[in-house]
Structure 1
Amino acid sequence: MLLEYFIFGLITFLTTVAQCEVTEVFAEPGSQAVLPCKSSPSSPFSPAIIWSRVGKGTVWRKQKSGLQYWGSNWSQKGTQRAQCPHFQFERGDYSLQIKDLRQDDGGVYSCRVEHGGTFTETRVTLRIIKVSISPSVPIWGSDVSISCIVTPWPSRATVQWMLNNSPFVPQTGTPSNRETAESVVREKATLKLTGNWTCVVGYKGREERALIALTVKGIIQPQKDDTKVYAAMGSAVTLPCVFSPGLIPSSPVWEKLKPGSLFKPALDQLPASFSPSSPSSQSSWDQSASVTEVGFGDEGRYRCSGTVEGQRLMRNMKLVVAKIENSIPSQKKASKSLSCQLSDVSEVIDYEWVHLVYDHNGTQSVGSIQKGKTLSLSKASEENSGEWACRFYGKEGILGNVTYHIPQMSALSGKKSSGVSYNTAAVVGLSILLLVLLLVLAQMYKNHQRRKRIFQYPALETIVHTTSNEREERERNRQKK
Structure 2
Amino acid sequence: MTPTGLVMVLVLALVFEGGQCQHHEVFVAEGSVAVLPCVDGSSSVSHPNAVYWSKVVGNSQKTVWRREKSGLEFRPLRDLSRAKCPVPNFGKADYSLHIAETKLADGGKYFCEVEGKTKMLKVIMLRVIKASISPSIVVEGLRMEAMCHVSPETPHISIKWKQNGKFINSPIISSVSQRDAGKWTCQVSYNNMRMEATTTLQVRGISSPQNDSLVFYGSVGSSISLPCVFTDGLIPNTVNWMRVSAATNSPVLLPHSAFNSSFGLIKRVELGDEGTYTCSGLMGLNGGKIKLQRTMRLVVARVLSSSSDPMILMCNLSDSRQITSYEWLRVNYGPNNTQRVTTVQRTKNPSIRVTEKDAGEWMCRYYGNQGLLGNVTSHFYTMGALKSENSSSGNKTAMVMGLGFLFMVIFLILFQMYRNYRRKQKIHLYPAMENIVHQTITEREWKERSREKRAEACVGEPKSVCV
TM range (shorter): 0.7 to 0.9
Q: Deviations over 1:154-207 (max 9, x none)?
A: 32001000001111122xxxxxxxxxxxxx635432123111111000111221
Q: Aligned partner of 2:251: which letter? A: D
Partner of 1:300: 275
Rounded to whole Å, the distance in 1 between the matches of 2:161 and 2:71 is: 48
SS of the equivalent of 1:298 reads: coil
Rounded to whole Å, the distance in 2 between the matches of 1:400 and 1:44 is: 72
Note if contact 1:232-1:323 (Cα within 8 Å) is conserved in structure 2. Answer: yes
The question of 1:190 aligning with 2:177 is answered yes
Rounded to whole Å, the distance in 2 between the matches of 1:341 and 1:115 is: 88
Query: What displacement does 1:360 show?
Result: 5.4
Residue pairs, 1:65-464, within 5 angstroms: 65-74=70-79, 79-116=80-117, 118-170=118-170, 185=172, 187-257=174-244, 267-269=250-252, 275-278=255-258, 286-308=261-283, 309=285, 310-329=289-308, 333=309, 335-359=310-334, 361-367=336-342, 369-372=344-347, 373-379=350-356, 381=357, 383-385=358-360, 387-407=361-381, 411-413=385-387
Structure-2 change in CA distance of 1:56 and 1:143 (3 Å)? farther
Of 338-347 and 129-138, more deviation after overlay is shown by 129-138
Q: Aligned partner of 1:411: which letter? A: A
Q: Aligned partner of 2:371: which letter? A: G
Residue pairs, 1:47-58, within 5 angstroms: 47-54=49-56, 55-58=60-63
TM score, norm. by length of structure 1:
0.72
Rounded to whole Å, the distance in 1 between the matches of 2:325 and 2:290 is: 41
Rounded to whole Å, the distance in 1 between the matches of 2:108 and 2:189 is: 18
Note if contact 1:50-1:111 (Cα within 8 Å) is conserved in structure 2. Answer: yes
Rounded to whole Å, the distance in 2 between the matches of 1:23 and 1:202 is: 16
Query: What displacement does 1:43 show?
Result: 5.5
Query: What displacement does 1:140 show?
Result: 1.0
Tell me the number of residue pairs that the alignment of Structure 1 and Structure 2 aligns: 391
TM score, norm. by length of structure 2:
0.74
SS of the equivalent of 2:153 reads: coil
Q: Aligned partner of 1:102: which letter? A: K
Q: Aligned partner of 1:209: which letter? A: E
Note if contact 1:219-1:243 (Cα within 8 Å) is conserved in structure 2. Answer: yes
Note if contact 1:161-1:199 (Cα within 8 Å) is conserved in structure 2. Answer: yes
Note if contact 2:30-2:101 (Cα within 8 Å) is conserved in structure 1. Answer: yes
Q: Aligned partner of 1:317: which letter? A: M
Rounded to whole Å, the distance in 2 between the matches of 1:375 and 1:344 is: 19
Partner of 2:44: 42
Rounded to whole Å, the distance in 2 between the matches of 1:98 and 1:422 is: 90
Rounded to whole Å, the distance in 1 between the matches of 2:51 and 2:336 is: 83
Q: Aligned partner of 1:84: which letter? A: C
Query: What displacement does 1:259 show?
Result: 6.3
Query: What displacement does 1:246 show?
Result: 3.7
Structure-2 change in CA distance of 1:422 and 1:36 (3 Å)? closer
Note if contact 1:322-1:342 (Cα within 8 Å) is conserved in structure 2. Answer: yes
SS of the equivalent of 2:272 reads: helix
SS of the equivalent of 1:297 reads: coil
Query: What displacement does 1:375 show?
Result: 1.7
Q: Aligned partner of 1:356: which letter? A: V
Q: Aligned partner of 2:86: which letter? A: P
SS of the equivalent of 1:88 reads: helix
Rounded to whole Å, the distance in 2 between the matches of 1:398 and 1:44 is: 68
Query: What displacement does 1:67 show?
Result: 2.0
SS of the equivalent of 1:245 reads: coil
Structure-2 change in CA distance of 1:214 and 1:277 (3 Å)? farther
Q: Matched residues, percent identical?
A: 36
Rounded to whole Å, the distance in 1 between the matches of 2:221 and 2:316 is: 14
Q: Aligned partner of 1:49: which letter? A: V
